[in-house]
Amino acid sequence: MSICKYLTAATLATALSVSIASAATFTIDPGDVTVTGKDFCFPGDCKLDGAVLGNSFDLNTVGETASVDDLFDWKVLLTKPWASGGGKYSVNVDLNFSSPSNAAAGGSGYAGFITVLGTITGGILKWTAGSGSVDFGDGHVLSYSFKDAAELGFGTGTTTGATFTLTEAPAPVPLPASALLLLGGVGALGGIRARRKRQS
């Protein structure tokens, strides 16, 4: 009986001698997209506005991927509700991460839209530099790819997304030797207690 307890304690100590890396939460902060270009609408004015909505996702192991469908928000802003027209723009964005540590990524491309009476709107988004990697400096490295879009529908707004893949993670951290000694001691105490019960 005591031998089994010793073996159990030794097995547990060996299994825990290297801790498994825990899941990391990646948090993208809200922000703005820089939009520059030309547009024309009548009556009134119009322009394209872009924003980073922000998001959080967890990745556990190297190679795991997260798809964020509503990372970017796009709106055609009209000064008159029944305006018609269109625009063509260059877009630039910086993604700022606040966890697991501060880091940044970026992208650029072009976008355009047409709207009819501010009701039916079509648009295109093409990232010409919309992929890369983010090094968090703590051992985590993400690769990312922004999603292109081509849409037609009612209203003047839509969202687009991106995919993120964990390409590197910190090495597992060994447990302190004191923790292993504690586990061994607990197993030994269990064995001694069982032996005393049998003898009494």
pLDDT in tens, 47-76: 999 999 999 999 999 999 999 999 999 999
**Pairwise CA distance, residues 10 & 16, whole Å:** 10
Which amino acid is located at 45 in the chain?
D
pLDDT, position 176 = 57
User: pLDDT per residue over 112-165, tens digit each?
Assistant: 999 999 999 999 999 999 999 999 999 999 999 999 999 999 999 999 999 999
pLDDT at 191 over 60: no
Mean of pLDDT over the chain? 85
pLDDT at 7 over 60: no
